[in-house]
Structure 1
Amino acid sequence: MIEETALSGVVEITPRRFADARGHFSETYNADALAQHGINFQFSQDNQSYSQDIGTVRGLHFQAPPAAQAKLVRVIQGVIWDVAVDVRLGSPSFGQWVRVELTAEKGNQLLIPEGFLHGFVTRTPDCIVAYKCSATYAPATEGSVRFDDPDLAIDWGIKTDDAVLSDKDAIAPAFTDLASPFTYEPAS
């Protein structure tokens, strides 16, 4: 099942599960099935993170062209709130965000195209998050925005002081300092 979110291009995907006495099975990625819905990303890197504590925030991150990344995010263990922020210049939803709860139990995923900031917060301990990226990691192109930026006003469900952050995320710049490398291109 594919559901649109409030941000054009960001979609929630819930693969079908087949259950029996042993447990369940699902295809977590099928390029042909997604292409039937107009989703045509070629993924080149898989990442996985483990977060021990509730309230661990990873983000808000992006990679600029020519290494811009689309991401397909899913939870292997636990629960997260996954966030995408539109930073495509000229977009009618520029600066707006969407949050989707992803859980291992439900098996849902979030597809985040190029042109969006991405981040998540863990809602349970011992979360394992896996995501596909359409471009490999390119440190020279990476950028970030502070997760608790007041201009974005994202509801992370935690107090700012309780967030568990990396040193790099703790000093991420403000949204107003972002010189976005992305431009909105309306669908024709």
Structure 2
Amino acid sequence: MKLVLATSNKGKVKEIKALCEDFEVIPYSELMDEFEIVEDGSSFKENALIKARAVFKALNSDDVIVMADDSGISVDVLDGKPGIYSARHAGKNANDKDNLYKLIQDIKDKNVLSSPAHYTAAIAIVTKKGEYTVHGWMYGTAISEAVGEGGFGYDPLFIPLGYDKTLGELDNEIKKKLSHRAKALELAKIVLQTV
């Protein structure tokens, strides 16, 4: 079954391909030119649906299933920020490193070394039969320094609950079990098997 991802984020594509081995997973950018999708929803769920609907409509085919994920980190000491703005925390054209160091600075500005935090992943699936959404969460601590070279995004500042290393230090097998996206994808697989 062809599963089209409404993302061109290489880190997400790689992670989803590894977790959805039963499907032929293709980023939409391999089927058409990339286009801007305005994510103006007020929640992870709304933004995931906006992306999946836009790509499904643009593909104009009944034979595809489009999946989109919207995810981010919410830090308690920052009143849940950056939340849905995680991908553009340091500005519209910011990259992963810019966002990471901006969040570290924000935590330092609160005069703390760490704060409880959590990741949310919302996955939207759009098919000719309907629309579905699932969620996954990962809880832990955001620290005010970057530790570890692995992963992407905010991984080097996040220590999952029950661990003493950041996601940037933990190996991929452990991360697969803990990941908010992995948890959401497990639920998404159940939906995919029924559609």
Q: Name the TM-score, length of structure 1 as normaliser.
A: 0.25
Q: Name the TM-score, length of structure 2 as normaliser.
A: 0.24
Q: Which has the higher strand share?
A: 1
Does 1 or 2 have the higher relative contact order (CA < 8 Å, sep 6+)?
Answer: 1
Q: Which has the higher helix share?
A: 2
